[in-house]
Homo-oligomer: A and B are copies of this chain.
Amino acid sequence: MATIRELARLCGVSPATVSRVFNSPEVVNPKTRELVLRAAERIGYLPNESARTLATKRSFMVGLVWDTDHRRPGWRHPFFQDILIGLKTALSGRGYHLLMLATNDGGRPDAHLRAVRRHNLDGVVLIDNGTWDPPLRTLAESGVPCVSLDRPVEGPRTTYVTSDNVGGAAAAVRHLHERGRRTIATIAGPERTRPGAERLQGYRAEMARRGLPYRPEHVVQGDFYLAGGYAAMRRLLEAEERPDAVFAAGDEMAIGALHAIAEAGLKVPQDIAVVGFDDIEPAALVPPGLTTVAQDTAGFGTAAAEAVVTMIDGGDPPPPRVLPTTLVVRGSTGGPLRGER
């Protein structure tokens, strides 16, 4: 591994000049610059990032805090993989790498912050893990640039990106209503989760807007999982007035509902139309195809990268970013009409 000193000697210049060739090329004589660049290529010179970080206090690395601890080993964000692709791509386009933070610093309340400091991380992206424990809070309040996904954060240099849950839920209700459904029930997510609360809010708002009556017996709580959706649907089927449509605040719950409906000998969409939320992979694979509200998964990563880099570059925290959702119409509401997606 050649060093800057060897490269400098080879070119008959000082290490300082070589350094400038890589860091502020515009300041060095074009001829010298070319000379150095060519020699660097020839001997395979590569700047040592540790030395650079030590000297500059910048690592060009962004930390990713994605909590999968012992208590919740199976926890998964519905489209973690897409977010990660978007994040990685956008970040590397801006010259940053992504460091996955291990979260086992003895369970200390400042675990994440310690990792950030040790490695001189320039910023951090947090993927919502449903809780908001001290390590996250400590990090957010530390002044390290910090962008959170799917949940608000408070701190001097923080912001977040989320989906338009309210609008997405409203679009689901609108779609059902436009397809002629009049008794639209909902299987809600847990109210303490932000998406759960917001999607319920969107449902209620749109129902009201369209003059559809709000019936408490048509609002059932689920847990975002299959079994919860199934159980909730069974309760809906026992309601005094059977709904002719259901908006489930998550695809797994929607698929659970599909099972309950089939079990009751009813047909989707003829007897009951169903709309989910998230557009997870199974949505397209489950018969008759689940109409659902898709989030802009890659956009999450890109938006997060943009926001964190803005703050790293000294900019003010950008306002929270709310990404638009898209209704994907499939068989569970009768399939796309001409011209529809």
Contacts and interface: CB of A to CB of B under 8 A. Distances in A.
Contacts of A100: 64, 84, 88, 97-100
Contact of A262 (B64, B281, B287): B287
Interface size of A as a range: 35 or more
Contacts of A115: 97
Contacts of A99: 61, 97-100
Contacts of A46: 114, 117-118
A54 B61 contact: no
Contact of A68 (B88, B91, B281, B287): B88
Nearest to A79: B81
B48 A120 contact: yes
Interface in A87-124: 88-89, 91-93, 96-104, 114-115, 117-120
A10 interface: no
A213 interface: no
A81 B73 CA distance: 11
A85 B68 contact: yes
B1 A117 contact: yes
Interface string A218-243: 00000000100000000000000000
The list of the 8 closest CB pairs from A to B, nearest first, reads A92-B102, A282-B282, A50-B53, A98-B100, A50-B54, A50-B50, A282-B285, A49-B118
